[in-house]
Amino acid sequence: MENDMRSQFPDIPKEKLKLVQRDRRITDQKLETKSIGYFKDVWLRFKKDKSAVVAFILIMILLLFSMFVPFISPMNVSFREENFSYMLPKIFSNTGFWDGTFQTEQTQGGYDIIRGIGVESGLSPISGEVRQFTASDGTVRYSFRQDSYYTPGYEIKVVGEKDFQAMMAFQEEKKIQIFYPIPATWNVKFTGYSAGNYWYKLKNETATSNGEAVYDENGDYIPNYLTSENPAAGGYTGTRLAGDDGGEDGKSWYTYAMKVQGGYRVRINLYNDFIYRNGFAPVFIFGTNVYGQDIFSCLAYGGQLSFILAISVCLINFMIGAVYGAVEGYYGGTTDIVMERISDILGYMPFIVVATLFKLHLQDQVGPLFSLLFAFVLTGWIGMAARVRMQFYRFKGHEYVLAARTLGARDRRLIFKHIFPNSLGTIITGSVLAIPGVIFSESMLSYLGIIDLNTSSMTSIGTMLSNGHDCLRTYPHVILFPALFISILEISFNLFGNGLRDAFNPSLRGAGD
Amino acid sequence: MTKYVVKRILLMFLTLFVIMTICFILIKLLPLPLVKSINKDVALQAKKYEQRGYYKPIMVQYYNFWRNVLTGWDWGVGEQLYTDRAVWPVMMQKLPYTVLVNLYSILIAIPLGLIFGIYAALKKNKWQDSVISTLVMVFTSVPSYVYAFLVQYFFCFKLKWFNPVVLSQDQAPLFSGKMFLSMVPAVMSLGFGVVAGLTRYTRAELSEVLTGDYMLLARTKGLTKAQAISRHAMRNAMVVILPMIIGEFIGILGGSLIIEKIFAIPGIGNVFVDSIAVKDYNFFMAETFFYTFIGLASGILSDISYGFIDPRIRMGSKK
């Protein structure tokens, strides 16, 4: 075609050519839209993915829960109330749901004991209506909702002099009765409940008693306390039960204390005793476990540990992996092959083996937490390095890199200023997605008992899970909450990571609008 | 192709060697646990250790170790666990349980995963797809032991359909129906994860393959949708999925530690965890070897199977 034109117009004289538009300034048209930076673009695309935003909010909730509950809760990991073990979760009162009660059915004996717990103090474990019916085997049974918080009832124990005086003073001050009269059968080793609960006249007063009571003419319990002539027997000078007036002869005062070696033998109401010792009434939002630890607080502490561990591990892995991968990818050649071999071999070591070896060697020196951290860091950077290396190979050959090098840029500048920012998206996504992996591995190791992060002031989610598994059949609430916590965490991180990955992918710009 | 395979296998042995050496040295540096229970005579134990050569210098022990392993496949004798019984036979006795549980769960999970994945890909972006994708997402995120707890709680304790714990060999023969029934909860817990993963991949691959031009050509030629999918799409989708399945077959052996503990399966994973707890080093070494070998083998197998399935991807071969 060119030759055609040349032959048609062989000679174009110079005068025929005229310059046009000389008086006008021709510039590019201004962009109609605002230009958005890289991160603004990422943020906009992220916001569009509703599930990722919701997931992010959930993660924040869990994070805030782990950070703030330790400050506002009066209970922490070292808080152990053995008497209040296996308490049910309680937020509301008397609603039948989440109020610390459970539906139960008892024979006459069991019913008598449980009802008896509430008679003296007014703190009755029976909440709501009692339904009496005859079972298929002919026995009379009672069906009702039992409040687990009042079930521990009473206990007969020995307290020291100072405690004795302090508790009596507390009784006076707060008008909360801790000491109750000692029953005549205090020495019998009953099976079932502790001797402190068998305060009324029993049909069978030996150790095999099933708790059935002998009723008086009104159908009430008959108190079966120790009595003495001296109202201050045993050194007791505190408030007395209503109806404790010395009896008809003025010589049968209830005995509240017996002086023994080392202190006083007394019968205490465990609920009020809890209030005395801790200053607040027992309310456990997620219940307690076998040791009497509050699951709500322990979950927060465990979550704290998990988050701190996971975030530090990911940060360290990110730094090591990025540098390693950058060096590998940038220099290539033999350096690359050697470094690849090393990371390959390290990568094939089973993680459990690494964790165990580190624990066995370092546990005495730096503690279980740091040995676990080292174990994670030893092999965790490998994935990150592989990703960074791949990104480097992709962008190494681009022209602007060549141009920068021609202009004299040093290696370090090329790596960090030119090539690295391209892979920022994958790197950040990879780091974020590694966090749930760390938490999961840590919980798995704790559950298996390989790593024992359970000290008196520290607990982890895996430990809580293993505690809960033992009582799965009878008290599922112990395992429910940690399992829920970790499930929500994992699901949210997955959604969040997916959202991040799509957000950082600039080729999706304009897709899905 | 053969050269590539041989090279990979040699590399595998090299890696195994390096890892075993590292583990060996790190373990032998630890002090030997002497007294475990009160009625064990400390002096007798020390004498036993001396006779078995645990007090010799590390280089000598290292040489002995490799000599024993390579000539007689003798991994030593259990010290704390299964005291004085040879390690490898004990492990082999436990192996069938682990293999069986994993085998059952894979055999059941693979067809299910494929079916769900294909269904989801066909109904892409319709409500069936959304439901399946959401379920898959939940099942892949939730850790496997959470299902195990749920399964154990609902199916074993509440509904009482199954036994919460797997029967041992003296209670029922290994391949019987009764044994299978007792393994069902464990198989279910393992299976959920496999099904979910497989569904996700199948759906992704198949939907990508369905957009290819040759699919359009197949439909234009006159094939029905079913024919087109089964003859063309599945083949291509399988390229990615089959290596994953093969990798899973072997890889899942290494991942069932928690399930074994929860359901009290007397398998290899249980021995591993116990050996760590009581510090029985011979068992630990043997188990480490086993798991590393499995990890490497699954990697090699899935890589090689790529080459078999898709003739375009023959690695290391001239074009």
Residues of B in contact with A306 (CB under 8 A): none
Residues of B in contact with A353 (CB under 8 A): 23, 284, 288, 291-292
Residues of A in contact with B277 (CB under 8 A): 449-450
CA-to-CA distance for A307 and B276, rounded, in angstroms? Answer: 26
Please list the residues that pair with A225 across neighbouring strands.
Answer: A183
Interface test with B, best of A59, A349, A433, A440 (most B CBs within 10 A): A349
Of A33-47, B162-176, B219-233, B247-261, which has the strongest mean pLDDT? B219-233
CA-to-CA distance for B13 and B290, rounded, in angstroms? Answer: 13
Burial of A250 (0-12, 13-18, 19+ CB in 10 A): exposed
Among B254, B262, B279, whose Cβ lies nearest the Cβ of A350? B254
> How many other CB atoms are found less than 10 A from the CB of residue A340?
14
Instruction: Please give the backbone phi and psi of residue A422, each rounded to the nearest 5 degrees, phi first.
Output: -65, -35
CA-to-CA distance for B53 and B72, rounded, in angstroms? Answer: 17
Average per-residue pLDDT for chain A = 82
Which of A302, A450, A457, A298 minimizes the C-alpha distance to A363? Answer: A450
Name the closest residue on chain B to residue A492, using Cα atoms: B141
The string of DSSP codes covering B73-106 is ----B-SSSSTTSBHHHHHHHHHHHHHHHHHHHH
pLDDT (0 to 100) of residue B66: 80
Distances from the Cα of B262 to the Cαs of A309, A447, B144, B167, B308, in angstroms?
A: 25, 10, 11, 13, 38
Distances from the Cα of A479 to the Cαs of A256, A453, B188, in angstroms?
A: 41, 18, 20
pLDDT digits (tens, 9 = 90+) for B189-214: 888 888 888 888 888 888 888 877 88
CA-to-CA distance for B137 and B130, rounded, in angstroms? Answer: 10
- Alpha carbon of A487: minimum distance to chain B alpha carbons (Å): 5
Q: Locate A430 and state its tokens.
A: 């990879």
Interface test with B, best of A342, A351, A360 (most B CBs within 10 A): A360
Confidence of residue B39 (pLDDT cuts 50, 70, 90): low
- Alpha carbon of B270: minimum distance to chain A alpha carbons (Å): 9
Which of A5, A219, A235, A236 minimizes the C-alpha distance to A112? Answer: A219
Flag whether pLDDT at B228 surpasses 70.
Answer: yes
Name the closest residue on chain A to residue B13, using Cα atoms: A345
Burial of A493 (0-12, 13-18, 19+ CB in 10 A): buried
| Contact flag A353-B288 (C-beta cutoff 8 Å) | yes
CA-to-CA distance for A156 and A195, rounded, in angstroms? Answer: 7
pLDDT (0 to 100) of residue B142: 83
**Within an 8 Å CB–CB cutoff, is residue B284 touching chain A?**
yes
Residues of B in contact with A493 (CB under 8 A): 141
Angle between helices B281-309 and B268-278 (to 10 degrees): 140
pLDDT digits (tens, 9 = 90+) for B103-160: 888 888 888 888 888 888 888 778 888 888 888 888 888 888 888 888 888 877 777 7
Which of B239, B251, B230, B258 minimizes the C-alpha distance to B310? Answer: B239
Kindly report the pTM of this predicted structure. Answer: 0.81
Half-sphere exposure of B260 (CA within 13 A, CB side): 27
For B248-275, what is the mean pLDDT?
Answer: 78
Name the closest residue on chain B to residue A447, using Cα atoms: B258
pLDDT (0 to 100) of residue A316: 92
CA-to-CA distance for A172 and A272, rounded, in angstroms? Answer: 13
- Alpha carbon of A503: minimum distance to chain B alpha carbons (Å): 19
| Contact flag A345-B157 (C-beta cutoff 8 Å) | no
Q: Is pLDDT larger for residue B56 or for residue A392?
A: A392
- Alpha carbon of A482: minimum distance to chain B alpha carbons (Å): 10
Helix (H, G, I), strand (E, B) or coil at B317: coil
CA-to-CA distance for A439 and A451, rounded, in angstroms? Answer: 13
CB-based contact A311:A192 (threshold 8 Å): no
For A124-144, what is the mean pLDDT?
Answer: 84
**Within an 8 Å CB–CB cutoff, is residue B28 touching chain A?**
no
Q: Locate A332 and state its tokens.
A: 């290539």
Which of B200, B267, B109, B152 minimizes the C-alpha distance to A483? Answer: B152
Name the closest residue on chain B to residue A490, using Cα atoms: B141
Among A357, A479, A493, whose Cβ lies nearest the Cβ of B26? A357
Flag whether pLDDT at A57 surpasses 90.
Answer: yes
pLDDT digits (tens, 9 = 90+) for A424-459: 778 888 888 888 888 888 888 888 877 776 666 788
Interface test with A, best of B23, B135, B141 (most A CBs within 10 A): B141
Angle between helices B177-210 and B87-122 (to 10 degrees): 40
Confidence of residue B314 (pLDDT cuts 50, 70, 90): low
Helix (H, G, I), strand (E, B) or coil at A215: strand
**Within an 8 Å CB–CB cutoff, is residue A349 touching chain B?**
yes
Contact residues for A438 (Cβ-Cβ < 8 A; gap 6+): A309, A310, A313, A314, A376, A380
pLDDT digits (tens, 9 = 90+) for A253-270: 888 888 888 888 888 888
CA-to-CA distance for A466 and A449, rounded, in angstroms? Answer: 8
Helix (H, G, I), strand (E, B) or coil at B52: helix
Confidence of residue A58 (pLDDT cuts 50, 70, 90): very high
CB-based contact A508:A51 (threshold 8 Å): no
Name the closest residue on chain B to residue A474, using Cα atoms: B157
Residues of B in contact with A473 (CB under 8 A): 153, 157
pLDDT (0 to 100) of residue B318: 46
CB-based contact A29:A459 (threshold 8 Å): no
Among B141, B153, B157, whose Cβ lies nearest the Cβ of A491? B141
**Within an 8 Å CB–CB cutoff, is residue B138 touching chain A?**
yes
- Alpha carbon of A374: minimum distance to chain B alpha carbons (Å): 15
**Within an 8 Å CB–CB cutoff, is residue B23 touching chain A?**
yes
Flag whether pLDDT at A356 surpasses 50.
Answer: yes
User: What is the ipTM score, two decimals?
Assistant: 0.78
Q: Which helix (H) or strand (E) holds A101?
A: strand A101-107
**Within an 8 Å CB–CB cutoff, is residue A435 touching chain B?**
no
Please list the residues that pair with A146 across neighbouring strands.
Answer: A102, A126
**Within an 8 Å CB–CB cutoff, is residue B32 touching chain A?**
no
**Within an 8 Å CB–CB cutoff, is residue B157 touching chain A?**
yes
Helix (H, G, I), strand (E, B) or coil at B7: helix
Interface test with B, best of A59, A338, A353, A451 (most B CBs within 10 A): A353
pLDDT (0 to 100) of residue A60: 92
Identify the weakest region by mean pLDDT among A188-202, A367-381, B13-27, B67-81: B67-81
DSSP one-letter code for A96: S
Among B142, B254, B292, whose Cβ lies nearest the Cβ of A487? B142
Task: Please state the separation of Cα A78 from the chain's center in Å.
Answer: 15
Among A344, A349, A444, whose Cβ lies nearest the Cβ of B258? A444
- Alpha carbon of B108: minimum distance to chain A alpha carbons (Å): 25
- Alpha carbon of B45: minimum distance to chain A alpha carbons (Å): 21
Instruction: Please give the backbone phi and psi of residue A342, each rounded to the nearest 5 degrees, phi first.
Output: -60, -50
Instruction: Please give the backbone phi and psi of residue A207, each rounded to the nearest 5 degrees, phi first.
Output: -65, -20
pLDDT digits (tens, 9 = 90+) for A162-196: 888 888 888 888 888 888 888 888 888 887 788 88
CA-to-CA distance for A503 and A48, rounded, in angstroms? Answer: 9
- Alpha carbon of A337: minimum distance to chain B alpha carbons (Å): 13
Task: Please state the separation of Cα B230 from the chain's center in Å.
Answer: 30
Among B15, B27, B29, whose Cβ lies nearest the Cβ of A344? B15
Name the closest residue on chain B to residue A445, using Cα atoms: B258
Angle between helices A295-331 and A461-470 (to 10 degrees): 130
**Within an 8 Å CB–CB cutoff, is residue A347 touching chain B?**
no
**pLDDT above 90 covers what percent of chain B?**
0
Name the closest residue on chain A to residue B154, using Cα atoms: A473
> How many other CB atoms are found less than 10 A from the CB of residue A116?
22
pLDDT (0 to 100) of residue B319: 42
CA-to-CA distance for A148 and A150, rounded, in angstroms? Answer: 6
Helix (H, G, I), strand (E, B) or coil at A202: strand
For chain A, the straight-line distance linking the first and the last C-alpha, in angstroms and rounded, comes to 44
pLDDT (0 to 100) of residue A61: 92
| Contact flag B15-A357 (C-beta cutoff 8 Å) | no
Flag whether pLDDT at B166 surpasses 60.
Answer: yes
Average per-residue pLDDT for chain B = 78
- Window B:92-111, CB contacts with A under 8 Å: none
Name the closest residue on chain A to residue B256, using Cα atoms: A444
| Contact flag A487-B145 (C-beta cutoff 8 Å) | no
CA-to-CA distance for B109 and B249, rounded, in angstroms? Answer: 11
DSSP one-letter code for A506: G
Flag whether pLDDT at B235 surpasses 50.
Answer: yes
Residues of B in contact with A360 (CB under 8 A): 27, 30, 279
CB-based contact A116:A200 (threshold 8 Å): yes
pLDDT (0 to 100) of residue A505: 73
Q: In what order do the strands lie in the sheet with A101-107?
A: A101-107, A140-147, A126-134
